[in-house]
Homo-oligomer: A and B are copies of this chain.
Amino acid sequence: MDDDVVPIVEELRRRLPQVSAAEQGQGKEEACAQDGEGGEENEFPFEIRALEALFEAICSFLDARTRELETSAYPALDELISKISSRNLDRVRKLKCAMTRLTIRVQKIRDELESLLDDDDDMADLYLSRKLDASSSPTSSSDAPYWLYGSPNTGSKRHKSSRVSGTTVQRENDVEELEMLLEAYFMQIDGTLNKLATLREYIDDTEDYINIQLDNHRNQLIQLELFISVGTVCMSLYSLVAAIFGMNIPYTWKAPGHEHVFKWVVIFGGMVCASLFLSIVSYARRKGLVGS
């Protein structure tokens, strides 16, 4: 995930000055605005705005890559269905690997968001600037930097237990606003994951279809080959008869005046061979081995 971080950092850099600029005069203003109930809902403190920019960058990045993947995967699969070749198979295999890697990343972001949303305390901890103001309370001052630089997801699943005391109505309001913000990104990333799941199902169904199709194709090839083998064995029989009459051993019908023998051999041989061919084919058909 190392080179993937670069565009996100750039995106963040591009967006945050603008936010900082807007932030300039607002920092204080907002600290007050929150005292009054309501205010304007988008007036989040700096750290929340950074987080929002970050999530937006990640979500749209992953969504864009998912779209790209879809754009190339569906035609590749349809092409594979119409013509199964090594080149198409290899292309689909590469797309599948790319999809697996992308799914793991999207799943991870989704899990982190879900676990962050699961715990009100962790969301409240994200209001760093507010905590700095309230730094006289010694309880959770130490983990603030942790939540910024580390990953909040693993911790958030736990300690659902205590620390309920000391939360004020103010904090409750903050958490609800942040929750709504994060939920928007959660739903976006969930939609991306859904697209990937649908794509995976489509690939799996296509593979099943190709397997059955290849098997069916092979059976039909073998059926045709069976007909040809039956033809070969019948002609072998006829050839054998001809070869027997072609042996250079003296016999009575070699003498002149036996011209009628030739006719009888040709006609009778042909009839025997044809009846052999038809009986084998009708046997196979009666057994359901070859279709109509």
Contact = CB atoms under 8 A, between A and B. Distances in A.
Interface of A: 37-38, 41, 83-86, 89-90, 93, 96-97, 100-101, 104, 108, 114, 117-118, 120, 138-140, 142-143, 146, 150-151, 154-155, 157-164, 167, 169, 172-173, 175-177, 179-180, 183-184, 186-187, 190, 194, 197-198, 201-202, 205-226, 228-233, 235-240, 242-259, 261-262, 265-266, 280, 284, 287-291
A248 B262 CA distance: 9
28 contacts: A38-B142, A84-B216, A89-B209, A93-B205, A93-B209, A100-B198, A100-B202, A104-B194, A117-B158, A120-B161, A139-B169, A150-B184, A154-B183, A214-B216, A220-B289, A221-B222, A221-B290, A228-B230, A229-B229, A232-B232, A232-B233, A233-B235, A239-B243, A240-B242, A242-B246, A245-B248, A249-B253, A251-B259
A262 B257 CA distance: 20
Contact of A249 (B100, B140, B254, B289): B254
A143 B247 contact: no
B173 A228 contact: no
Which 6 pairs between the two chains have the least Cβ-Cβ distance?
Answer: A242-B243, A245-B247, A235-B236, A249-B262, A214-B215, A93-B209
Given A89-B209, A207-B208, A222-B225, A261 B249 contact: yes
A97 B235 contact: no
Contacts of A226: 221, 224-225, 228
A225 B175 CA distance: 71
Contacts of A37: 138
Interface of A, secondary structure class, is helix
A258 B250 contact: yes
A84 B186 CA distance: 44
Given A142-B176, A211-B215, A289-B224, A240 B233 contact: no
B250 A198 contact: no
A131 to B, nearest CB: 14
B212 A214 contact: yes
Given A89-B216, A218-B218, A142 B41 contact: yes
Contacts of A219: 214, 217-218, 221
A185 to B, nearest CB: 10
A284 B222 CA distance: 12
A262 B224 CA distance: 34
A187 B228 contact: no
A249 B172 CA distance: 110
A187 B239 contact: no
A214 B90 CA distance: 13
